[in-house]
Structure formats: C-alpha cells, structure tokens
Structure 1
C-alpha cells in the first residue's frame, strides 16, 4: 500500500492528549491517517514531504454554513436578522437550479481556500421566502422542484469538500406529502455522492419560523424515517424574542431533542431551555461573527461548556459573516467573551481551536471521521507557515496559531492526503465557478430590482 509521510512539522493535533509537538504523520492511499508521532525518526513510506517546520492543524469544521450566499456579501449591512433574511429572499426570487449549483460550487471552494475542510451546509430551500413580521413566519415568494436542492448537493460534491446537507421541510408552505417527498428526494440524492465526501443528511430545523407545533413533529418524523440529524436556528435574535422562546416546547414535546439535535445560535435561551439542552444531550453551534454583524447578541458559550454541552462553531452565511474566515471567527468569539465577562481566562486559545475543529465535529455528529489529527480519521489538515509573513519567535505554539496566524499564513489545504488548495497555484475550477456564480447572481437579483454598484 502506498503511503505518504508529512514531516518536519509543528503539529497541533487537537486530540485531547497533546497540545502540540514537532513530528510527522502518515497517510495511506485512501486518505486516512495511519500514523502520527513525535521526532525525526520516520516510518517507511513511498513518498516523503518535508513541511519546513510549518504548523499542521486539523482542517476547520464549520458546523453551520449557508454555502450558497457568497454572491450577496455586503448586503443589508445595517439590518438585523429578519430584515436581512427578507433581503436575501428577495434577491433569490430570480434564482434557478443552475444558479444555485454555481453559487454552491463557488462558496464551497471559497470555504476550502479558507481552511475549512468539512461543513454542515444549510441548502437554500426550494421555497424562496421572506419574513412576515405580523405572523412571525416565512411567506413563500416562489416554489421550485427538488432539483433546486439536488443541484446544490452536486455543487458541494464537485468542490471536493466534506459536507452534511441540511434541507428545510417548508411544511407550512407546501402540502405535507409534497414536503416529505421532496425531503426524501434530497436524501436519496446523497447516495450518488462519493461516500468519502458526504457526511450525511439533516433536517434544517425551522420551528423558529413556523406557526404551529406540528412542524416540530414533522421534523422528528423525517429524522426517524431517514436516520438523520437536525439543526435548528433558534433564539438567534432579540427580535420578537418572546415568540421564539415560546416555541421551544414544540421541539421538546416532539421528541426531537437529543444527541442528534443541535440548536444553531442559541443566543437568547431561558434557564429552562439550557436545562433541557443539558438533560437531553443536545448540542449548540455558535456563530460569533454573524451574531455580531447582525446585532443578534452574544451566546453564553462558557456557561454551556461548563454544563457539559457539546458546542461547535460555524462561519454561517457568506453574506452576514461576509468573510468565511475561521481564524477571524475564533478570535472574534474569544475576544467577545473575554470582554463580556471581563475575564481573560474565560476561554483559552486551545479552547477556541477545539471549538472550531473537534468541538464542531462533535456537535454535528461526525467526530468519528473529522475534527482532529488521529489515526483512523481522514487526513484533512492545514499547512500554516508562520514565516510568511514572519511572526517572530514562537513562544507558545497554540497561542501563536490561534492569535497570530491567519489566512495570510495559510500555505496549503489538504483533504484526504491530497492538496485541495495551495497558495500561488492557479485554480481553473475556482475561476470558472466565481465567474458563473457572479453572472448568475446578478441576473437573479435583477428580477427583484437589485443592481450591483459594479
């Protein structure tokens, strides 16, 4: 069997055992880590790659992303969540299935180039909607066939990123049978994807936008029928907060809560809600940059961690985070929490790195395959060069990696032992995807009267 040894690296494995060490890791022809060790004595291999003393860390896991939104950066720049949601909905009314394919392909390649190797992706629903303030629900503007979803799956697969596909039922905008059948079509389409890259299907939890408890019951039915997880946007914003909080019992009473359920954002929970998350083993996914951009608030992540909740992180929308940068996301989260609590010890650099790698993988149930550098997991890792630009002496490797490194230091992204992105190397697929996505996004926006400044 052919093996490659990557050596002369400062490895930050996020394995719960070693904070860091200088050493090597070996990868087989199937892209699986077969060995990892300290020092300069190397195992026998077919190929050796000297990494020149660079950092090697796990590929970032974004446990909450909306990959298709890269064509809408900078929009609704001073709007809170619900106004922003409606703006995006209006911009998407003119989109077609091929629009979503190219937006998704471009967005996934962008994630990879920023060091994200695995992602939980909320697909743009086939029911394009805007938010109705009077009813606190989504109002349908256009309905597509299931191809609107399956082409997004194709875009993810063609990018070569590992992904969970999350699909909204839209049960209040569609007949129940139609919503169930379309969800089944999307889940079946995942069987056409290389199993090394699809990490499974999921329900795009939408009770925050619904008017009746039956939505939670229907989501639970899909979880059970298809054996999938569920992640729900919940208490994300202070807007209409009492309405949001009052819907929590719908999820609790439906049977959804548990190890296969995650709350995205969870910025404004009640004490009871936190207790039920702890008791049921549900998880939480934190998006500090988007919560800040939209003025949504700050998740009390330190308390959740102290209570034993599985917490992950996501870079969220490319149109409300605007830059899908996990380094920036870690630092934003860390500094917000330290400032909020007036406590520099409340979270450490290693805590933040764990949250955006292994913690994220745990929160969405894929930590058996990704999230850390351990034997038996996929060889998804980053080569981060602290000399380009030069960061000076490395006194504390983990602190330097989290606090001082960034996209400017990212030299290479490796997925399954193969280069997926490398600084300075032309990417024809990325260029084509960006060009097509831009043209198609402009055309889609024009249907509703949106025109870019340039």
Structure 2
C-alpha cells in the first residue's frame, strides 16, 4: 500500500482533463501539494492508505476555479458606487478610497475578498493592485493572499500619467521607480507560501501611461518573466483617448509598442473591432472575461464567443467587488454563460461545459499555469473543491456540470483544498476566524468611507452600519 496525506473516495469526480472525463465513483489521492493519483474508488482503495480519508459519497469533486482578474481591496466599496459608468465610478469611489486607505485596512478588506473566492470554489486569483506609492499597501494585500491560503498572482500596476483624468498623485510614479518596485516584489515574494504566489505586471489603462512607459513594461516583462495584464477597451473611451493621444486605437498602439504577446492578459475587451481581434490572434493574447462587472457598469457585452472561436485563451473573472459587489465565481460562471446567450440571442452559443472550461482550464492557460492547475490529473497541484447537492437552490441534480454552472451557490461548496491543504471543511475555515475577520473588516470599511468622503454617496440612500 502506498501512503499519502489525503485520500478522498466515493466522489463524483469532474476531472476537466482533455477528455472531460467524469468518474461516477472516483477517488483522489494527495501527497504533499500534488495529486498523486485518481481513478475508480475500487481500484484506488487497493493501492492507497492515508493519514486522512474522506468519504465523499453523494458529493462532486471539481478542480479549483481560476479567477484571473480582481482588485481584492475593493471589498471596501461594495454598494457605494451605484448606477455609474466606469469613468464616473473611479472618480467617485475607487480613487478617493485608494488615496487614503492604510495597510491594515488593505489587509482586512483584501482578506474578505480572498475568503469569498474560496467560498465560491476559486482556488487561484490574479490580483490587479492599484499603482499606489506606499510599499506597505502592496505588502498588506500580498499578506492577505498568503494568509488566506489561496494560490495567487499579484500584479503591480504601472501608471505614469493621467493627472488630467483625475488620477491622484499617490497613484502616479515614474516608470523606472514603479518597475523597480515590481522587481523588488518579485525578488521578495515569488514562490512564497510554499510556491503559491508569484508576481506580475499590470498597466492600468491606455489613458494613464505614456508610450515610453508601455515600452518599458514590455522590456521588464521580457527580462524578468513576469506576465502583463491590462484593462483593455472596457468602454468606448479607451479608443477615444488613444486616438486623441497617438492617432491610433488602443490595441493597434499596444501592438505597435510590442506590449501584446502570449504573456499578455487583456481584461474586459468589450469594444473590439475585427482588426483588434486579428492583432490578438497574431500575438496569441489571453482574455479575462468579466461578465458581472461589465453588466454592473453598463459597459457592454464582450465578444467572447468570437474570441474563443479564434482560438484565444479565455479565462473567467469577477473583477473587484467595487464593480461587482461580490467575489462569487459561481455567480460569475452562470452570468458568463447567460450574458453571451442574450447577446447572441442563441441559447446554444455557450453551453455549461464551455463556461466551466473558461473558469478552470482557460484561466490556467491564460496565466501560463496549465501544467499546474485547471484540471485534476496526477502531478498537478492539489487544488479542488467538494460540492454537496443538498441545498434548495441546487436540488434535484442530474448533470454535475450544469448544476455547478446554473444552480449551485456558495452554500454548496463544502470543502476547499489548495496546495494539498484543507482550507475549508463542512463550510468552516480551518485556519482563520472568519467571523472576527468580517466584523473587523466592516469597521475598517466604515472608517475608510468616512475618511475618503465616499460615505456622502449614501446621503440620499439608506445607511447600514451593523458594527
């Protein structure tokens, strides 16, 4: 008998492997941080013994979901920026908040976002942190990711212009200085948390960076191996601003400056021309699809079906809670499929399996981690979650994939494992005091709203202050 650390048996295992195999009575063995084996329970029982054996009868086991775009600290502003387009929303809500947030608040509010990701089955997140000039704020968000147990990529945003657009001084730095800080973060944190964390680069928007800045980010990425992510054509304003500044639209400008490449994850991509899509294909760009955020801000419907048909890597994302009001990847799964159906007026244009692929295999591929996460296979990281069918929302169940995409909610997520470690069991976090964190975060958000002046947005609305 082979000894492993964790052995889960009698589960319905949705592997998300190349064949999309589903094992109706499956077992999975974990050794350290990796999957040692999986297969039919009867066969696995004959081979493995473990320190911890879990009988998962009646439940389904899925690979962890991959959330490839969020702003973790934005849980601070849930519900404050109602009914605004993105350009007004950043001025009224997120910029004032970013200007005054302190490291303790950034840690607590980011930790809340991490917990919700885990509760909704997400085991990997890519955080797009604002370009704040206080290094302690970046350290605080990174610490929240590490303490939560999530697998994460933390991206440090580069912004070297945009004063005329209202970007605060604390969010603008010379490119050389900002990239030096990104390199410092990479040297300090790459591989932290038993290999769960790495560092990447981010470009805020096309109207908040200079042409030398774009070229410098590409050089840094090439020299360090850091990926680049960027908000791209979330609204029509991106192209208007790019045309005014450079005489060409956003994506042609990114192509011209060499920014586009296989290591580039384009966020939103709502307003795309045929030329834009062709340039993405030529450079093998990955795309982060943010359906709930795009609806919430009224940005439009991204042409994700068209992008997917061109062979581009598509990952699913919540965006920050400021433009979503939550970090629920299960909700995002459902809306990701439904929004495309509405946009195409075709219920078959995105099926449940496609949506799950975007949230697992697609996200892993977009991050360059397809050999590590995104499916359940021997040798891959032990990142997965266990789903119980017995909630009123989900029951009765028939098809496990359709159930997860269209019917499941956070109460269905019973257990979450990241890097071989059980982080949540029977709906309770094993390593953190969730109740205390939530109360502390509520107090922090209330104090932050008062200092930032965003509390005034509630003057004609109800104000809820539970602590």
Q: Same fold (TM over 0.5)?
A: yes
Quote the residue 2:156 is aligned against.
167
DSSP 3-state at the match of 2:386: strand
Give the superposition deviation at 1:244.
Answer: 4.6
Q: Deviations over 1:109-138 (max 9, x none)?
A: 221122111001112321xxxxxxxxxxxx
2:256 is the alignment partner of 1:258: no
DSSP 3-state at the match of 1:356: helix
2:52 is the alignment partner of 1:54: no
Out of 131, 154, 162, which is 1:125 matched to?
131
Q: Conserved in 1, the CA contact under 8 Å of 2:69 and 2:288?
A: yes
Give the superposition deviation at 1:219.
Answer: 1.1
Q: 1:304 to 1:447 in 2, by over 3 A?
A: same
Q: Deviations over 1:34-91 (max 9, x none)?
A: 1111353323212421102201111111011111111211121100111111221112
Quote the residue 2:347 is aligned against.
344
Quote the residue 1:446 is aligned against.
450
Q: Which runs of 5+ in 1 are unaligned?
A: 127-143
**Alignment of structure 1 residues 43-192 onto 2, 5 Å:** 43-46=47-50, 47-86=52-91, 87-126=93-132, 144-172=133-161, 173-191=172-190
Q: Conserved in 2, the CA contact under 8 Å of 1:92 and 1:445?
A: no
Quote the residue 1:28 is aligned against.
30
Quote the residue 2:401 is aligned against.
398
Q: 1:423 to 1:125 in 2, by over 3 A?
A: farther
CA distance in structure 1 between the partners assigned to 2:90 and 2:27 by the alignment: 44
Q: Conserved in 2, the CA contact under 8 Å of 1:146 and 1:185?
A: no
Give the superposition deviation at 1:211.
Answer: 5.3
DSSP 3-state at the match of 1:18: coil
CA distance in structure 2 between the partners assigned to 1:89 and 1:437 by the alignment: 19
Q: 1:3 to 1:174 in 2, by over 3 A?
A: closer
The total of aligned residue pairs comes to: 436
CA distance in structure 1 between the partners assigned to 2:179 and 2:209 by the alignment: 18
CA distance in structure 1 between the partners assigned to 2:395 and 2:443 by the alignment: 43
* TM value normalised by structure 1: 0.90
Q: 1:424 to 1:211 in 2, by over 3 A?
A: closer
CA RMSD of aligned residues (A): 2.0
Q: Which runs of 5+ in 2 are unaligned?
A: 162-171, 244-248
Give the superposition deviation at 1:31.
Answer: 2.3
Give the superposition deviation at 1:315.
Answer: 0.8
Give the superposition deviation at 1:416.
Answer: 2.6
Give the superposition deviation at 1:334.
Answer: 1.1
Q: Deviations over 1:194-241 (max 9, x none)?
A: 24211x221112342325322211211221232100011010013454
Q: Conserved in 2, the CA contact under 8 Å of 1:33 and 1:377?
A: yes
Larger % of helix: which?
Answer: 2
Give the superposition deviation at 1:424.
Answer: 4.7
Give the superposition deviation at 1:445.
Answer: 2.3
CA distance in structure 1 between the partners assigned to 2:57 and 2:76 by the alignment: 37
Out of 213, 232, 239, which is 2:211 matched to?
213
DSSP 3-state at the match of 1:118: strand
Q: 1:192 to 1:281 in 2, by over 3 A?
A: closer
442-451 or 145-154: bigger deviation: 442-451
Quote the residue 2:168 is aligned against.
none
Quote the residue 2:220 is aligned against.
222
Quote the residue 1:139 is aligned against.
none
* TM value normalised by structure 2: 0.88
CA distance in structure 2 between the partners assigned to 1:340 and 1:352 by the alignment: 15
DSSP 3-state at the match of 1:168: strand
CA distance in structure 2 between the partners assigned to 1:176 and 1:325 by the alignment: 34
DSSP 3-state at the match of 1:357: helix
112-121 or 231-240: bigger deviation: 231-240
CA distance in structure 1 between the partners assigned to 2:224 and 2:440 by the alignment: 34
2:316 is the alignment partner of 1:327: no
CA distance in structure 2 between the partners assigned to 1:89 and 1:384 by the alignment: 38
Q: Conserved in 1, the CA contact under 8 Å of 2:201 and 2:226?
A: yes
Q: 1:340 to 1:218 in 2, by over 3 A?
A: same
